[in-house]
Amino acid sequence: MNARKALLSCAAAAVVVALAGASAQSADKKTIALVYGIKGDAFYVTMEKGAKAKAAELGVDLIADGPSQWNPAIQTPIVDAMIARKVDGLIAVPNDPQAMIPALQRANDAGIPIVTTDQYIGDGDYAKGSVTFPLSYVASDNFGGGKLACETLIKGMGGKGTLYVLVSTPNVPSDVARRDGCLEAVKAAGDGVMPRSPPRRPRRRCRRIRPSARSSAAISSARREPRRPSRPPTWRGR
């Protein structure tokens, strides 16, 4: 949890630094908006607490909101509402790296400094990538986290067996990075460990494995499967 709060502290600080240049123009107390990933998720509840704590420390107001589902169509109006409220800075957790570009571009065009956290838009390279208007992308090492988690699982499996990786939302950058980190660990383990793909109907399976899987970070678990002809793993979206 401390790491999550640290992410928001960095993001909030980045926005405040961007606002420093405008301080001479207005003595009014600044307002930063946090548009997080999804309501009710423990990760984002902790994130909001960290943002509020840092905002209080920096002497700025914070307003926070997020969609009821992980869906850019629901998140977009929330970003537009923050633009209409004329917030001074925006910290966003984009629900989709491409679909959220237009809404955040509108915020940028309105003169609102933007920092993304936990997720990014475009390819995440705001210096030389396809999208360059956000100030910064603040996140943990998701690839490294996925790799470490699966290295630990493989060790617990005795270096052999079947490793099942469930990605809650296949197109979300953080989940994809964790999956790729896990696959790197599987590759390093050699032929003794085989990754298995998601089931044909992952939505139903996700609910059975963990009701909140669709709104959580990537889940990795090791399990034994009945013997069947081997085949290359395939990855299917929801």
**What is the tens place of the pLDDT at every residue in 124-155?**
999 999 999 999 999 889 999 999 999 999 99
Instruction: For residues 148 and 217, state if they share a domain.
Output: yes
Query: Does 30 fall in a domain?
Result: yes
Domain final residue pick, 115, 138, 161: 138
Query: Does 234 fall in a domain?
Result: no
Instruction: For residues 96 and 149, state if they share a domain.
Output: no
Number of domains in the chain: 2
Share of the chain above pLDDT 90, in %: 58
Amino acid in position 59: G
Query: Does 165 fall in a domain?
Result: yes
Query: Does 212 fall in a domain?
Result: yes
Strands 161-166 and 219-222: antiparallel
Q: What is the largest CA-CA distance in the chain?
A: 70
Flag the least confident range among 148-152, 157-161, 164-168, 223-227.
223-227
The whole-angstrom separation of Cα 125 and Cα 127 is 6
Does the pTM of the predicted model rise above 0.75?
no
Please spell the DSSP secondary structure of 22-91, one letter per residue: TTTT--SPPEEEEE-S-TT-HHHHHHHHHHHHHHHHHT-EEEEE--SSS-HHHHHHHHHHHHHTT-SEEE
Instruction: For residues 95 and 176, state if they share a domain.
Output: no
Q: What value does the mean pLDDT of the chain take? A: 79
Quick check: 195 and 167 in contact, CB under 8 A?
no
Over residues 79-104, the mean pLDDT reads 97
Instruction: For residues 117 and 56, state if they share a domain.
Output: yes
Domain final residue pick, 121, 138, 155: 138
Model confidence at 13, pLDDT cuts 50, 70, 90, reads low
Instruction: For residues 73 and 131, state if they share a domain.
Output: yes
The enclosing H or E element of 136 equals: strand 136-138
Instruction: For residues 164 and 133, state if they share a domain.
Output: no
Query: Does 62 fall in a domain?
Result: yes
Flag the least confident range among 16-25, 49-58, 120-129.
16-25
Structural domain including 201 reads 142-222
Residue 119 has pLDDT above 70, yes or no: yes
* Residues belonging to the chain: 238
